[in-house]
Each structure stands twice: as structure tokens, then as C-alpha cells.
Structure 1
Amino acid sequence: MSTAYDTSRIEWARQEEIAERMIPLIGRLYRSGGVVTNILGRRIINRSPAEILQAHRFTRETGDEVLDPEKTFAMLGALERVAVGPASIDVARLVREFDADGGAWGEPELAGFLREKLASSDAAPAAAPTDVVLYGFGRIGRLVARLLIAHQGSGQGLRLRAIVVRRGSDDDLLKRAELLRRDSVHGPFAGTIEVDEQEQTILANGTLIRVIYANDPAAVDYTAYDIHDAIVVDNTGRWRDEEGLGQHLAAPGVSRVLLTAPGKGAIKNIVFGVNSEQLEPSDAIVSAASCTTNAITPVLAAVDEAYGVVRGHVETVHSFTNDQNLIDNFHPGSRRGRAASLNMVITETGAAKAVAKALPQLAGRLTGSAIRVPTPNVSLAILNLELGRDVTRDEINAYLRQTALTSPLRQQIDYSENPDAVSSDFVGTNRAGVVDGLATLAAGDDRVILYVWYDNEFGYSAQVLRVLERMAGVHPAILPERRPVRAEAVLV
């Protein structure tokens, strides 16, 4: 006689078998057509069957039932038969919309639905490959490298060709490879890494990366390594203005520069999803702003659009970084000389002012401060805002939740109502910021306090990659198309 235990185990095995059959479909869509499949923003490329099923259960966050794996498998098969072109496709949205239309789950019906649904899409044709050079290979540099390698697909998009560093020891190359292979916060590299000391290269999952040693950006001739028209990603933070970063442009083989820190002067500070439309092909030097700016600007943009932000204060509780001392010692900055692993340290942040570079309407309306705390990664921004109209906690939470799921900002904003969530739960999130709905404070007047978690390393690196893709013209279209969320449409 079958017991409840047996029934549950049999059902899990059935779903796991379906997920296993999805994997080759997902891989072919990505490697052959540049189609990035996801379930409500959760990528299902290079995932195990259990991880794919876990993503299916996330659909409960929308108020729907758990996504049926059999329907996902059928939709993936139909996508393979319908030419789409490079795009980021939310399979869950397609399944829900097909069900809403009352369609029968057959091949002809699915094909007709997809042709109609995706016919007017702005899926871009495959672009020519773009060479990428990482100048500096620290925390952000190595995570951007991991992302570039993971996103290599058919090799027709961004191609990581080289990293440039200053030689630190006789076995520098081996040490760099090991830092890429193992990370105390983000875990091991997903794949294989081989080192060729004679050729000075690192081979990571088939991506051959040249390691170049140099002290001067302009001293490197990239064309000698068959690197041409490259985008240099400067991860050092050593130069932040046009004069300093312009040194990269003097190097043969370089056409553009992306800074992974706030830029100064006339340099465009891009928060992807908010002001990325400002990017022009003629922009030779661009900044991806800071991790905190990327975390709070999308949320502020959404809140300002729906309610209006009159003024506010941003308090950042930020993990310690490499520019602080591990133990008390001399430091040119105030307070940062005190032991980072033992103290909370009040420090300055320019994130509140930097928001205005992406959202000019908020210029002069925000103040900001920061506290460095003894955790290695994941930070928390507390937005204390005065709005243009009254709002309740349930109303603004419903709005932000829907914004995270279905709006054009769904790649930047995530939403959580996990009652046991702590900072380490957000390690590895690829969103710029995650609104903690259970922490929201609003009493029905014009004041609201929002708590936004963010992986200040990986989440920011994901935003850097998106800017890179836009600069290279290879950022995939997001399908089905997202429409702006109106607050009054989600009132509870």
C-alpha cells in the first residue's frame, strides 16, 4: 500500500525527471540562439534539476500556484522551434499568459501563441563579438570575470580577453588563478581553470584569458595580443576623471572605458535600468556608479514615479571593504584606520548625492551617511522618505512587490517577505537591491521607511555586466515586454 511518504517521493522523482529533460533545451536555446531563460528573473541556465524546481516554486510569490514543470518543458520546446533571437525570456510569464488565453497545450497552439507574442519584440540581432579587458583583478574584477565567463554562450557577445595587473610575486599568475577559483564569500568557481605559465594565460571554462603585467595603462599594446576595439573595465578606482581614465584610450586596441566606481566631472554615471538609455555609442568613458547608488536608485525611481519623493535620508549599513584596516593602524581617512573586523565605523557616503546623476529630479532632496560593520559582504540601505501623498504599508509593499515581478525594473529590484531573512541570505543575488517588505514602516501619512538589502559585490557586478552589454550592443531584449506598474492598480 502506498503511503503519503511514497506518494511524495514518487511525485518529486517525476518532477525531477522533467527538469532533467529541460536542461538540454535550456542549453541549446542559450548557446545557439542567445536566449536567456528565466522564471520571474531567476535564471535557469546551468542549474541542477533541484535548482530548476526551486525556481518553479518561487512563482508562489506572485500569488499564483507553483509553476507546473510539464508546462515549462512544453514552452521551452516551443521556443526552440520558433526563432526568437537574443533575448531574456521569462518562461513563467509566457506560461501564465498562455493559460490565461485558454489555449490547448499542443505544439501548433504554442507555436502560434509564441509567434504572435514575440513577433513585435525588440529582440536584437546577434552583434559582433566585443573584446573586454579587466584592468585590476580585485573583488569586483574577479566577480565580473565569473559573470563574463558564465555568460559567454556561443562566444558572439562579450569576450573576456585579458586582465591587467601589477606583478605582486614570482608566482603571481598562480595566485590570481586561485583567487578566481576559490572565494571565501561567493564559493568555488563553477567549472574548470587551467594555468599556462609559459603563455601567461588562464583557461576558464574554455575562455582563454591573457594575463598582462603593467603599471601604466597607456603602456600596453593590446593589438599585440590580437585584442581590438576593446572595452576596458577599470576596477582599480585609482582614476575617476576623464584625464586619468583617458590613459586607457591611449593604449592601442582600446576604444572605450567603463569605471566600476563613481565617476567625476562630466563622466556619465549609469545605473542600469534607470538611466541606461543615456548611453551613446560615442561615449568613450562611462561609470557604473557605486554599489549603494545602484541599490537605492531603482527603488527611489519607482517610489518617486508613483508617490513623489519630497525629501529623505539614506542610511547605509555597509560591510567593511578592503580600504579599511583589519586592525588599528594608520589610515589617511577618518576612522577607517580602526579595526574593521571589531568595530562599527561611521563614515561618509556620496551615494545620496550620486542618485541625482541618474535621477536629476531628486537633486538636493536626499542626505546620506554610512556605517561600516564587521561583515564581509551584503549591505543594507534604509530609506527614510517624505512622499508627495499619504501611503499605507500594505499599499507601498504591494506596489514594490509588483514592480519587482513585472516592471521594467525587475532586473534591478527584488522583493522579500521572508520572516527569518538575514544578510547572508542575500549573498549572490543578481538584483541591485532587495526590498524587505516585512521591515517597511508606514502609518498612512506621507512618511515611509524602506529597508533595501544588496550584495554590494555580486549584485553590483551584475549591474556592471548589464552596462557592458549595453555598451557593446548585446544586452538581450526582455520578453515578454514589461509595462510600468501603476500604484493605484495594486492597491490592497
Structure 2
Amino acid sequence: MTVNEDSFTNWKNREEIAESMIPIIGKLHRERDVTILLHSRSLVNKSVVSILKTHRFARQIAGGELSVTETLPFLLALTTLDLGPSQIDIGMLASEYKADDRGLSVEAFTAEAVAGATGENKIERGAGRDVVLYGFGRIGRLVARLLIEKAGSGNGLRLRAIVVRGGGEADLVKRASLLRRDSIHGQFQGTITVDEATSTIVANGNTIKVIYANDPSEVDYTAYGIKDAILIDNTGKWRDREGLSKHLRPGIDKVVLTAPGKGDVPNIVHGVNHDTIKPDEQILSCASCTTNAIVPPLKAMDDEYGVLRGHVETVHSFTNDQNLLDNYHKADRRGRSAPLNMVITETGAASAVAKALPDLKAPITGSSIRVPVPDVSIAILSLRLGRETTREEVLDYLRDVSLHSPLKRQIDFTTAPDAVSMDFVGSRHSSIVDAGATKVDGDNAILYLWYDNEFGYSCQVIRVVQHVSGVEYPTYPVPVA
């Protein structure tokens, strides 16, 4: 057999293994609310090639071999256990098993590693939690896609309604079409039907009521069978407690804002300060996409090296807030044509750091340049550290953080030498460290952090909503703090 034939045979064997994993992953998700991960990347609803590519990428960042032949035994072992709702990382199971010298079988090691999700320890599935989207723009539609994707057994978050202003003839059909097709993020993964008579959109079996209203005071959600719901405000029209309190109508229990909150509204960056949310807090903010991009790596660097001061420069994709062509705009420079210019503007991300990281005393400044790309931005984080270090040490540390720490869902890591912005469309992490661009000189470090300012941020929003709703299931093996 030639080398080429041997390589092709190996690929076909791995395809067969990945194909056998799909129904197991699907059944665990639908019947037990168990999400299978590979180094924090979900394998639910993934194709054969996607599963193989995820394994391949995990091998690259882990620096060691990892194949479906190694992870399949752990997946099979999970099927024999009495699992409750959880997220289980088979990549972490495989790597930790390699490092374990006790001679345990795969079955015994797996049972021990996920013991917190089995038997008497497991979380019992609840009745689910209603979710309402107020506004259906860029972030609203991506959050809707994620909620539908994560419906699982129906015992988690349930998208029940969308509130929008009336848009005239064929409004419902047009909104459904925007959910179905996206110029940046591609086709919706599933089926969508529209019932104009009942003003509903049915997406992958999820019936979503579309409510037309010009103001929160016009809606009584209990009239639609909605109760104790979490309302996600995607409009940004109200950003302080007084304004957002308008949403606390019959049927609504909590309000989550997808923009920086003002005044005493808590700004939450999942992975960093979500555990500070008070159980009785009804109004909170998920801060901005840029805040979510810089705060996790900033915390990681401060934990290890100490940060004395910093500056963040964001090179940000243009947004709907800007004009296509030159026209009046209330903000300086944003009235100039977005697809034709680089536009210097402001970012509130630096000042928002204080809310998410109150223990960080270092002054952080920031500014932003909007550039003619439709999605994915980069934050250049320049830090003065508390001690001297080397580039190699910083990269080894951040790679480890991306794989093994509690921030692994927020921080990703790439060593690709030719990485560009479009490579990160659809990233579920809030921040991706570009190893090749990182610069370190003594106590000065410059990190280049890619982020999908639409989809990555939407994933952070969903994580916050899962946390406050009580359906943020624990991850096993437990990340090392």
C-alpha cells in the first residue's frame, strides 16, 4: 500500500468512527440534556467532517495527538452512566486519562471524572424557562439561532416570543427570511415555517410568537401563556434601571440587556463576574462585545503577572449604527460612509472594565477605529505587567488558560500563521489570542485578540441567561481554577 492509499484509508476509518459518534451525541443531548464538548467546543449537531476538524484543531492547540479513536471510548463509557444535565468534555477526559498513572480502565476513570453528574449527585431536569426577545436585529437573530439550537429536550431555555414594531405588509415573512438566511453567518441550520394567521414562526419545532408593540407597556405576556420569563432587550433603547424596568410586565421576571448598562445596572462578563449576580437581581447587562473580548484575557494576565496599566485599541467592524453613505449622524465621524472609510470613534469598553473587574486597580484606557469589514474585530491590548516575563512564557500560559482554566469558554488560542479576520466568523469564544502577533518585552506585553463581535458576543449573552435561569449546567471534568 502506498503512503497516499494509507492516508486515505486512515481518513475513511476516522470518518466511520465520527459517523458512529453522531447518534450517541444526539441522543445524550435530546434525552438527558448532556452536551458533549471537545476542548470546550460543542459536538452537538455537527457533521462528520466538523467533528474531525474539531479534533484536528484541538490537537493543534493542545500540542499533542488527539483522534476520534481516542475520544470514542470515553463517549461510549458515558452511555453506560446515569447522567443528569451537564456538559462533558471528552477532549479533557482523554488528555487527563493520558496523564493519569493509576492504571484505571476508561470506564472507571470516566465514571470518577463525571461523578458529580451521575446518580444522586445529578441535577434533575426542570420544566424549562421561557425567554422573550425584545428586538430582532443582528444580535437578536443570532441569539434566537442559539436558543433554538440549544433547545435539547425542551427542559432548558425556550424561546417563546419576539417583540418587534410593525413593519407593514409581509412583515412576518421578511423577519423569518432574515432568520433563515444571513449574509455573514450563513443559512439557519434547520427548518423554518411561518403562520401569518397566528403570527408565529416555527423553527425546528419551536413555536415562537411574534408580538407587535411600540412600547413595553403595551404587552401582557401572560396573555400568550408566558410566565417567569427572561426578557433579552436587543434594542439598546433603554440602558439604565429606570428604562429597563419598563420590561418588568406580567410574565417577565428578569431583563437582560445586550449593551453596556448605565448607572447601577450590573455589567456581566460571563466567566469573570457572573457569579456575583444576586439571586434577586432583576435587571442586568451583558456589557459590550469589546468588553467581553478584553476582560477575560485581562483577568488571566492580571492573575498571573499583575497588570499595572493598560490600553486597548479596537479595530472594529462597522455596524448598523453607522451610515452606508455620508449623512447626518449625532455622533462625531460616524456619519461618514462606513464601507468606504476607517472611522476613529470611542469605545466604552475600557471604562466598563472597572465594573467587571473591580479588584483591578490598574488604569485602562481605550479607543476604537471602525473599519470596512462586516464582522469580526480585533482588540490590541497593551499591558504594563507587574513582573518581567518572556513571549514563550506568556504564550504557554495563555494556551493553557484556553484549554484547562475556568475561562476556556471565553478565551481561545490560535497559532495559524496566516490567520485573518474572516477565519473567526462564528467563533463561540469571546476572545481569540493570536499567538503569532503577540509581543513581549520585559514587563510590557501586547496581545492581539480576535473576536466575532456578533456571534461570539451572542454566545456570551446566552451563557449569562443560562446562569440566571438556573439551566447553566456544570462542566466535567471540572476545570482547574
**Structure-2-length-normalised TM-score:** 0.97
- C-alpha distance in 1 between matches for 2:65 and 2:206: 37
Once the two structures are superposed, the pairs formed by residues 44-443 of structure 1 within 5 Å of their partners are 44-101=43-100, 109-120=105-116, 124-249=123-248, 251-363=249-361, 365-443=363-441
1:279–1:448 distance in 2 versus 1, CA, 3 Å: same
1:478 maps onto 2:475 in alignment:
yes
Q: 2:61–2:415: 8 Å Cα contact kept in structure 1?
A: no
Deviation at 1:41, TM superposition (A): 1.5
Deviation at 1:483, TM superposition (A): 1.0
Deviations 1:177-201 (A, max 9, x none): 0000000000010110000010110
Percent sequence identity is: 56
The residue that corresponds to 1:489 in the other structure is none
Deviation at 1:99, TM superposition (A): 3.2
Match of 1:449 among 432, 435, 446: 446
The residue that corresponds to 1:37 in the other structure is 36
What is the letter of the counterpart of residue 166 of structure 2?
R
- C-alpha distance in 1 between matches for 2:467 and 2:301: 25
Q: 1:186–1:427: 8 Å Cα contact kept in structure 2?
A: yes
- C-alpha distance in 2 between matches for 1:4 and 1:390: 48
Q: 2:130–2:228: 8 Å Cα contact kept in structure 1?
A: yes
- C-alpha distance in 1 between matches for 2:309 and 2:97: 43
Deviation at 1:73, TM superposition (A): 1.8
Q: 2:296–2:407: 8 Å Cα contact kept in structure 1?
A: yes
What is the letter of the counterpart of residue 423 of structure 2?
D
1:460 maps onto 2:457 in alignment:
yes
1:389–1:78 distance in 2 versus 1, CA, 3 Å: same
Deviation at 1:169, TM superposition (A): 1.8
- 5+ long unaligned stretches in structure 1: 485-492
- C-alpha distance in 2 between matches for 1:363 and 1:143: 35
My pick for the range that moved more, 33-42 or 461-470, is: 33-42
CA RMSD of aligned residues (A): 1.4
Q: 2:308–2:362: 8 Å Cα contact kept in structure 1?
A: no
- C-alpha distance in 1 between matches for 2:59 and 2:17: 20
- C-alpha distance in 1 between matches for 2:141 and 2:227: 22
- C-alpha distance in 2 between matches for 1:231 and 1:155: 16
What is the letter of the counterpart of residue 205 of structure 2?
G
- C-alpha distance in 1 between matches for 2:63 and 2:53: 15
Deviation at 1:364, TM superposition (A): 6.0
What is the letter of the counterpart of residue 114 of structure 1?
T
The residue that corresponds to 1:488 in the other structure is none
Deviations 1:96-125 (A, max 9, x none): 2223335779xxx33322222222467643
Q: How many residues align?
A: 478
My pick for the range that moved more, 329-338 or 112-121, is: 112-121
Deviations 1:41-77 (A, max 9, x none): 2211111111111111123234554323233222111
Deviation at 1:312, TM superposition (A): 1.1
- C-alpha distance in 1 between matches for 2:64 and 2:410: 25
